[in-house]
Amino acid sequence: MIHQNKLRIFLECLENYKHDVPLSKYLKEFYKRNKQMGSRDRKMLSHMMYSYFRLGNACPNNTFEERLNIALLLTATENDSSISMFKPEWFIHISKPIKERVEFLKTIFSDFKLEDVLPLQHLLSEKINKQAFVDSHFVQPDLFLRAVKGKEEKLQQFLNEQNINFEQEGTCFRLANASKIEEPTEYLFEVQDKSSQATQQFMHPKLNEYWWDCCSASGGKSLLLKELEPDAYLMCSDNRESILSNLDERFKRAGITKYKRRLIDLKAEIQSFEPETFDGIIVDTPCTGSGTWARTPERIVQVDENNVQYFSDLQFAITDNAIQFLKKGKDLLYITCSAFALENEKVIERLQAKHNITIKEMKYIEGYEDKADTMFVALLSCEL
């Protein structure tokens, strides 16, 4: 009876999700409309929904219930009771590696293929370990905090007071994804993925230099830059006023006042600056977000090859437009949270074919090996 009731609620929730908002936002609204659900019920439903979408395109001809059961087995941990509720006879398999669970599932569902879980694998960069990348989508990434520089001990104390377990590596704090954190009265941290934090090592601002974060969104990379050099001048731009308003609030909280912000569409001709204006440019471009799909698995089934090509062309157009304002001999940092070569190495190749630039460093930050997002960074220098 309990099993059937939970399945009914899951099917209702799944049927009404139209993919027009992130799954996390949709679930919050769903729980507001269904206030009778307790915390355990909400936790269970969230797990079922996220697990279901982690199955990607596999077993499209099976029933919703069958696909859910497959997903629950693949995402199960030793502390997970959901599979024992829906398929108790499968519980003995949850301690086995993903590869062995897959082999077991193939004995029941002959059409199940692990390669169907993630679409467009042929577009993954050759630098990506494909098997590890696919397997990572069955694991919920951790929650990461970046401690404000100099406040690491205060953040430790704050988390200890709330009985929240954490692992610390410098200013990066790793927490379980389900951790509930109260808002501190003092500015102690930013919520920021570990891989995103790692992009800071490619930034080299100097005193009084003028930098441009040209796809700034709410300012995550700009905050990293200002932490390295508080006295660097900063221009933040985006093509969405609402996002820039969020940036203003975030900077106010961080005590940052030495910056300008502008609404700029980098796909169009820019007349706001003179050529060679900036000492450094950060281009954190819009992308498919394929490196974050373990965190947002609902996106797996929303992206096709046309989307990847669209973003690749957009990324080139934005960077091509921005690079004219970079001073000769200075750095441009290109960033995506994608694992597709078309959005990464191929864009850099197109830029090299048009501009006199050199690659100082280019790599993937392989978050799929570390319960974090996967990102691509390329540090480019505009030649003298």
SS (H, E, C) 10-41: HHHHHHHCCCCCCHHHHHHHHHHHCCCCCHHH
Q: How much of the chain is helix, strand and coil, in % rounded to 5?
A: 45, 15, 35
pLDDT by residue for the chain (384 residues), tens only, comes to 567 888 999 999 999 999 999 999 999 999 999 999 998 899 999 999 999 999 999 999 999 999 999 999 999 987 777 888 889 899 899 989 999 999 999 999 988 988 899 989 999 999 999 999 999 999 999 999 999 999 999 999 999 999 999 999 999 999 999 898 988 999 999 999 999 999 999 999 999 999 999 999 999 999 999 999 999 999 999 999 999 999 999 999 999 988 999 999 998 878 778 888 999 999 999 999 999 999 999 999 999 999 999 999 999 999 999 999 999 999 999 999 999 999 999 999 999 999 999 999 999 999 999 999 999 999 999 875
When computed from its CA atoms, the radius of gyration of the chain, rounded to whole angstroms, is 22
- Interatomic CA distance for residues 336 and 125, integer angstroms: 13
Determine the Cα–Cα distance for residues 9 and 33; give it in Å rounded to an integer: 13
Distance CA 245, CA 240 (A): 9
- Topology (CATH) of 194-382: Rossmann fold (3.40.50)
> How far is it, in rounded angstroms, from Cα 345 to Cα 21?
30
* Amino acid sitting at position 119: P
> Using an 8 Å Cβ cutoff, are 348 and 359 in contact?
yes
Annotated domain spans of the chain: 2-117, 143-191, 194-382
User: In which residue are the tokens 């157009």 written?
Assistant: 317
How far is the C-alpha of 131 from the C-alpha of 122, rounded, in Å?
Answer: 12
Determine phi and psi for 268, rounding to 5 degrees.
Answer: -105, 170
What one-character-per-residue DSSP string does 209-262 give?
-EEEETT-TTSHHHHHHHHH-TTSEEEEEES-HHHHHHHHHHHHHHT--S-EEE
pTM greater than 0.85 = yes
Q: Are 345 and 334 spatial neighbours (Cβ–Cβ below 8 Å)?
A: no
